[in-house]
Amino acid sequence: MKTRLLDRRTVLRGLGGITVGLPLFEEMLVSTARAATPAVPMRSFNLFFGLGLPAAIQKEGFEGVMEPLKPLADKLLILRGIDQIRADQKGENAHRDGASAAFTAEAPNGTDRAGGPSLDQVIRAAHYANGLPAGMVPSLVAGTYFRRDRVARHTHSFNEDGTAAAPIQERPRDLFERVFGKLPGSEGDPAELRRKRSVLDTVLDQYHHYAGANSPLGSASKARLADHLDRIREYETRVFPAKEEEAPLTVTGLPTAGLPGPPPKSKLLHGTTADPGGEGIDITLTDLVEGWHLMAGLYALAIQTDRVRFGSLTFCAAGERIRLKGDYDYAGRRVFQFDDAGQRKKSGAAGCSHEWWHGFDEKKTNEALRAHAHMKLREIAWFLDLMDNEESREGNGRTILENSLFTISTESGDGRHNDVKRELSGVFHAVTGAGGRFKTGRILDDGTEALDLYNTLLGAMGTKRRLGPGNREHRRFDAILA
Amino acid sequence: MRFIPPFLFSLPLLASTTLASDEAARHFDTVIAPILSRHCLECHDSANREGKLDLSKKSAAFAGGKKGSVIVAGSAAKSRLWESVAHDEMPEDRPALSAEEKEKLRTWIEAGAVWPGEEVDPLAHMRSGGEGTILPRRLTREEYIATVQAATGVEIAGDAERLLPSEARAEGFRNTAFHLTVDLGHIQAYAELARLVAERLDPAPFLAGTTGVDDNALAKIVEQSGRRLLRGPLDGTEREAYLALAREGAGPARDAKAAARLVAEAMLQAPRFLYRVESQRGDGTPKPVAAHELASRLSYLAWGAPPDDALLRVAAAGDLSDETRLAKEIDRLLADPRAVEQSLRFARDWLDLDRLDSIAPDPKKFPHWSPALAADLKGETLAFFRAAVWEEKLPLARLFNAPFTYASPRLAAHYGFEGAKASAQGPAPLLHYRFEEGKGDRVVNRGSLGEAYDLGADKANALVWKKAGGLELKSAVAISTTGPAKELVAAIRETREFTVSMRITPANTQQKGPARILTLSHGTGERNLTIGQEGDRYEVRVLGKGTGGNGTIDWRTEPKTVRTEKVHLLLVREASGKTRLFIDGKEAISRDLGGELGDWKDGYHLVLGNETNGGRPWLGSYDEVALYDRALLPDGLPAATPEWERIDLTSVPGRGGLLTQGSLLSVGGDEASMVTRGLFVLHEILGSGVTSAPAGTDTTPIPPKAGQSRRAVSETRIAKSDCAGCHAKFEPLAFGMEKFDGLGALRERDEHGNTQREDGSILFPGEAEPVTYASVGELMDLLAGSERVARTITRRATQFAVGRPLGNADAVVLDTIHHRATAGGGTWPALLKAIAMSDLVRLTPTEPQS
């Protein structure tokens, strides 16, 4: 007998006002022939927002820039004063060091690799050592961002060797295709299907050999070809429908009938045009938020339909350069009128919102910076809310937000590139309860090292792997444990 | 004697006190140099020498400082360096060394303080990895296209560029192996491309002269396919697997060609095709690369393409292990035209020229800015690089002061070159219809072929003119020339190029035929050219080599391409035969039709809106139609840039060399930032870096104003003791470029009226004293003559060649490469040869089987 995990829905609202019609996928149902209650899958996601929250304004709590997180306060553990100083790399700047350290607690390894694996990937490796269920996206990396001269500015999910866990999807259509895309082949003529099958089987054999025990390759190379093999397997499940009895308890493949068309075309700049040599782009608040809602909404849908259980989502890159314009309202009041270039009276890089952070002064009101930070947290909260609504309620009665580990962080605690003790200390973090493992509904100020925080999270999530140097004495951050 | 805590004596020695010299060199580069670089050189480099101590150079370090010697080889206890570090007295006001770092330093001194080489790389602490991590090198998209072409003869560029994701730069280059991962999109693309290639290839070369389809014949097909596609011999398991596939492909029809195609389709997706698979098993020590693997390394290094038959034969004969033979092969590879293209890829990545595709200067500050100018800036540097390296055969450091460049008319006007053609308009169209008539049944041609090419409607009063301009077709009507388009065809025959530019609005997404938007044809079976609409797709039919009289049938864009909104279609055929359709500036479809035009007829009329004999009506609006006998890209830039000319800069003050070209000068952005330009030179040209700004400094950029030039702002910054330590190392590097604005145009005064200067001084990394220069020319001469610059180029090229960032463990081999390249003249071929002959290419690290 099958049990419904999710209610049937034909329209998904909330994607920035754009409706996307979706049928209920039969594979949202989990066979519970053997289990009394459905298993809640292990999930871990890293949520990143660019430019950070200066430690001083974090102290204002929910009455200040953190106001948008207040409705979710009971389901979040806010951690202030987290220290990422060990990630400071002499010769690099804080944006890159901090961006790389978020979720890894390590300084970057070169310009385009993190110093080690990220939280979600460590947890994935521990719980799915033999791979995720067929048809699932192993790691989904996505975001709404513009600056892109370093990978760690926008990607926040890293393998053991510091390489990106997956290429980032920045266009909603690409994200849609990655997760839900239909591939030609399953409806083709039988002879063509047989031909494709034969070719694929031969190709698969080759990758099995090179990723297997008798491979002539070294371990890192084998791992790389094993990843390739996993992608071919994923391709295989999309082109050739899987047999139901092979995967009774998991999502099996993708529907090929009834899928809607892709989401609307993004209005944002993408690719290299989104980062004209670090000089920044002009963008309205409406376009930014609409683009983000499209992206984050799809990402949420991917989680809700159990297409993905690990990855990262980014709202604005580390060191982002945008000249934002538009009226910002929240809770029925006008919070601020964004006009970065006009207010800064500058064009190009100097007119970007990034510069408010450089000019942060505790003795001043920092109105523009606060408004930008408030807006960012509003958008993070928008996504988290999707993970906490009725459509995200799981078989155990709790929501995806409550059942999973979402780690929210950013790149720095301060804006000035001049004092390591300020910029990489006091880095804002928040975590969800992860199925009751961590305390929620409180704010902790501890000054703990991010490395100890992350290792405590990992321990509670059932992994043995610890981040950081092997000979370091780790301090368990007991205060966060439920 | 100072007190040293007992625990430091009790820590076990990390290494024997006697180290073999090779091991000692490696130990210094990988262990000691990073410690010195991270903790000491900020204050004790050649420039700062606090306490008169310079730890960046061996001779200076052992000479000591104000208080005498600091390193006594063999005795840590007597070495001030160790003592001060052990007591955390040094580094002053900075984080102390860890216990582990201290112990490494102590062990090194006790073991004799072996210091190979002379200088410590100031970035040594940031360089890690490079050694030990062996990753397979997936083919980049460009390499994939070249490999398919070489192995099968199929030109797949258009489809590959459409389907395969492009690579991003990582560590400065697009071919960095750790970044060449695959996602589902790659797998889909590889499968589809393999199918297309298998469909299009000529199976004859794969049949190995066989005529039958028994197992012997099929085995030969498999072997031949493997040799061509997998770049080396097959093993037993592979033979069996592909033979089984070949049997299936041959099928009941016993079709050898079908068998060859099926095997090819599988091999094109196999790891040995998509990756440069190499044996990495051994005893953990480096071993010589197998012959066929070395052949691949050499060809991809030199060409970015697979080895040719000649190289494979030399490899198979075992001759690549002979130094003389190896050197001869490398010379042959570097004499091939493909080596030129590969060098341009290096230049493109090293200098980040693709950045120019997306810069967006403020139009208020740069009213003459256009994407076409950006393309010109990029084109200039690539043309210059090509000429300097391959025609002039200059040492690579001379890229910084070679007194010539290349410029289009637009670029020459931008730079203000005297006597250069100022026209930036591009070629004139042969046909140009603007649909401004407003009434009547005639459309006037404003192009160079004149009124003979005016168009007339085949039905009276059928043309609907729009109030704001433009022509709407609401019912079937053909608007055509009164006579055959002989002159038009003659012009196109001569150039073998054409561009059709149309701004239209389709009335619906259902009309088919294809419905003729523009056609140069006669009826439904004969044509030179047709651009039409087939439902929700555009269809292009062009007569070319091998197409048949009706042109390229079924050559269509993707579904849902047609929308009922204004669109710009641009069909471009280059003389090479490359034919592309752009939709709103983006390439939609591409095909190679061969260099020859084919049998274009001059008896056809040019028609808009229908076929000559009716039956294929198109409904919609025309706003503009133009036709050229040249190939023009979407921004109006000629595809083959025939109007570029070489400019002698000997008498042009302020120009000559890479850093006087707009492509690199634009790194400073609109504001021509001294900081950004200076840092670029420090990082990319001088191979150095600086540490973070001191605590408490406001780093907000200070803008220039009347009476305060950018240079003055910089000098004020450098005068502050807090800033000088770092800024003095890089900002003066940009002083010589102050006269160039954000896009590289020369000016004597900036926007505030401040006089611009070009004199300054440059402190080369590792030197104690700066060297002054009086002009930008002198600055460029200093760079061109600098050993530091030459070494940086060696490093960058080696990184590009081996596909990974170089680590401290590579220091010794890099040194050898540089010396050999310099002895060979310092040219690109000499450098690549030195790299190819080095252990980085000829040996591979190994891992024991676990």
Per-residue pLDDT tens for A317-352?
Answer: 999 999 999 999 999 999 999 999 999 998 888 899
Indicate whether A355 pLDDT > 80: yes
- Whole-number Å distance between alpha carbons of B236 and B240: 6
DSSP assignment of A39-90:
PPPP-EEEEEETT---HHHHTTGGGTTTGGGGGGGGGEEEEEEEB-GGG--T
Per-residue model confidence (pLDDT) at position A390: 94
* Per-residue confidence band for B446, with pLDDT thresholds at 50, 70 and 90: confident
For residue B274, the surrounding DSSP H or E stretch is: helix B271-274
Least confident of A143-147, A402-406, B8-12: B8-12
Per-residue model confidence (pLDDT) at position B131: 56
Contact A161 B188 (CB under 8 A): no
- Whole-number Å distance between alpha carbons of B85 and A111: 30
Of A167, A221, A274, nearest to B134 by CB-CB distance is A221
CA neighbor of B242 nearest in space, from B269, B263, B265: B263
Among A residues 302-341, those touching chain B with beta carbons less than 8 Å apart: none
Other beta carbons less than 10 A from residue B635's beta carbon: 14
How near does any CA of chain B get to the CA of A142, in Å?
13
Among A residues 31-50, those touching chain B with beta carbons less than 8 Å apart: none
Per-residue model confidence (pLDDT) at position B132: 57
Backbone angles phi, psi at B626, to 5 degrees: -140, 145
Per-residue model confidence (pLDDT) at position B323: 94
Other beta carbons less than 10 A from residue B812's beta carbon: 17
Contact B135 A221 (CB under 8 A): yes
User: Looking at the complex, does the CB of residue A412 fall below 8 Å from at least one CB of chain B?
Assistant: no
Contact B689 A420 (CB under 8 A): no
Of A206, A281, A419, nearest to B695 by CB-CB distance is A419
Counting one residue from chain A and one from chain B, the pairs whose CB atoms sit within 8 A come to 207
First to last CA, chain A: 35
User: Looking at the complex, does the CB of residue A78 fall below 8 Å from at least one CB of chain B?
Assistant: no
Of B135, B690, B805, nearest to A220 by CB-CB distance is B135
For an interface test with A, the pick among B276, B692, B808 (most A C-beta atoms closer than 10 Å) comes out as B692
Among A residues 367-386, those touching chain B with beta carbons less than 8 Å apart: none
* Per-residue confidence band for B417, with pLDDT thresholds at 50, 70 and 90: confident
Of B136, B165, B269, nearest to A225 by CB-CB distance is B136
Per-residue model confidence (pLDDT) at position B158: 87
- Whole-number Å distance between alpha carbons of A140 and A162: 16
CA neighbor of B360 nearest in space, from A99, A32, A275, A379: A275
User: Looking at the complex, does the CB of residue A470 fall below 8 Å from at least one CB of chain B?
Assistant: no
Contact A218 B846 (CB under 8 A): yes
Backbone angles phi, psi at B479, to 5 degrees: -115, 115
CB A454 within 8 A of CB A86: no
Q: Which residue has the higher pLDDT, A224 or A20?
A: A224
* Per-residue confidence band for B86, with pLDDT thresholds at 50, 70 and 90: very high
CA neighbor of A459 nearest in space, from A119, A107, A103: A119
Per-residue model confidence (pLDDT) at position A263: 84
Chain A contacts of B266, Cβ < 8 Å? 199, 202-203
Least confident of A69-78, B356-365, B530-539, B619-628: B356-365
Contact B179 A278 (CB under 8 A): no
- The mean pLDDT of B790-797, rounded to a whole number, is 96
Mean pLDDT value across chain A: 84
Residue in chain B nearest A198 by alpha carbon: B245
pLDDT for B734-780, tens place per residue? 999 999 999 999 988 888 888 899 999 888 887 878 899 999 999 99
Contact A210 B277 (CB under 8 A): yes
pTM reported for the whole predicted model: 0.78
Per-residue model confidence (pLDDT) at position A417: 57
How near does any CA of chain A get to the CA of B847, in Å?
6
Indicate whether A181 pLDDT > 90: no
- Whole-number Å distance between alpha carbons of A90 and B35: 12
Indicate whether B455 pLDDT > 50: yes
User: Looking at the complex, does the CB of residue A279 fall below 8 Å from at least one CB of chain B?
Assistant: yes
Of B241, B279, B845, nearest to A216 by CB-CB distance is B279
Indicate whether B294 pLDDT > 90: yes
Residue in chain A nearest B240 by alpha carbon: A202
Q: B142 Cβ partners below 8 Å, 6+ apart?
A: B304, B345
Of A113, A347, A471, nearest to B362 by CB-CB distance is A347
Q: B774 Cβ partners below 8 Å, 6+ apart?
A: B758, B759
Indicate whether B443 pLDDT > 80: yes
Q: Checking DSSP bridges between strand A140-144 and strand B771-773, what pairing results, if any?
A: unpaired
Indicate whether B694 pLDDT > 90: no
* Per-residue confidence band for B722, with pLDDT thresholds at 50, 70 and 90: low
CA atoms within 13 A on the CB side of B320: 28
Per-residue model confidence (pLDDT) at position B639: 54
* Per-residue confidence band for A438, with pLDDT thresholds at 50, 70 and 90: very high
For the beta sheet containing A140-144, the strands, ordered from the edge strand earlier in sequence to the opposite edge, are A140-144, A310-315, A44-49, A405-409, A427-432, A76-82, A442-445
Cis before residue A276, ω within 30 degrees of 0?
no
Contact B181 A224 (CB under 8 A): yes
Indicate whether A250 pLDDT > 90: no
User: Looking at the complex, does the CB of residue A140 fall below 8 Å from at least one CB of chain B?
Assistant: no
CB B296 within 8 A of CB B276: yes
Q: Which residue has the higher pLDDT, B130 or A4?
A: B130
Contact B187 A89 (CB under 8 A): no
For the beta sheet containing B479-481, the strands, ordered from the edge strand earlier in sequence to the opposite edge, are B442-443, B455-457, B479-481, B605-608, B515-522, B526-534, B537-542
* Per-residue confidence band for A242, with pLDDT thresholds at 50, 70 and 90: low
Of A92, A167, A202, nearest to B181 by CB-CB distance is A167
Q: Which residues pair with B591 in a beta bridge?
A: B579
How near does any CA of chain A get to the CA of B795, in Å?
15
Judged by DSSP in three states, A272 sits in helix
Distances (CA, A) of B277 to A34, A355, B495, B846: 45, 47, 45, 13
Indicate whether A249 pLDDT > 50: no
- Whole-number Å distance between alpha carbons of A134 and A235: 10
Per-residue model confidence (pLDDT) at position A182: 67
pLDDT for B111-162, tens place per residue? 999 998 778 877 776 666 555 567 899 999 999 999 999 999 999 998 999 8
Indicate whether A254 pLDDT > 60: no
Residue in chain A nearest B135 by alpha carbon: A221
How near does any CA of chain B get to the CA of A294, in Å?
21
Indicate whether A28 pLDDT > 50: no
* Per-residue confidence band for A2, with pLDDT thresholds at 50, 70 and 90: very low
Of B194, B248, B690, nearest to A198 by CB-CB distance is B248
Indicate whether B107 pLDDT > 80: yes
Residue in chain B nearest A199 by alpha carbon: B266
Of B358, B690, B700, nearest to A272 by CB-CB distance is B358
Residue in chain B nearest A422 by alpha carbon: B695
DSSP tag of B682: I
Per-residue model confidence (pLDDT) at position B511: 95
Per-residue model confidence (pLDDT) at position B654: 86
Least confident of A470-479, B130-139, B433-442, B776-785: B130-139
Contacts 24+ apart (CB under 8 A), A329-335: A330/A67, A330/A68, A330/A374, A330/A378, A331/A67, A335/A371, A335/A374, A335/A375
CB B218 within 8 A of CB B243: yes
Chain A contacts of B691, Cβ < 8 Å? 90-91
Indicate whether B267 pLDDT > 70: yes
* Per-residue confidence band for A185, with pLDDT thresholds at 50, 70 and 90: low
Of A111, A346, A418, nearest to B694 by CB-CB distance is A418
Contact A235 B187 (CB under 8 A): yes
A248, amino acid identity: P
Distances (CA, A) of B184 to A476, B470, B691, B805: 39, 45, 40, 27
- Whole-number Å distance between alpha carbons of B478 and A332: 59
Chain B contacts of A210, Cβ < 8 Å? 271, 277
Cis before residue B395, ω within 30 degrees of 0?
no
Per-residue model confidence (pLDDT) at position B547: 83
Indicate whether A34 pLDDT > 50: no
Radius of gyration of chain A (CA): 22
Chain A contacts of B185, Cβ < 8 Å? 167, 174, 177-178
Distances (CA, A) of B171 to A468, B20, B123, B622: 23, 33, 14, 48
Contact B671 A348 (CB under 8 A): yes
Contact A417 B699 (CB under 8 A): yes
DSSP assignment of B395-446:
-GGGGGT-SEEEE-HHHHHHHT-TTS----S-PPPSEEE-----SSSEE---
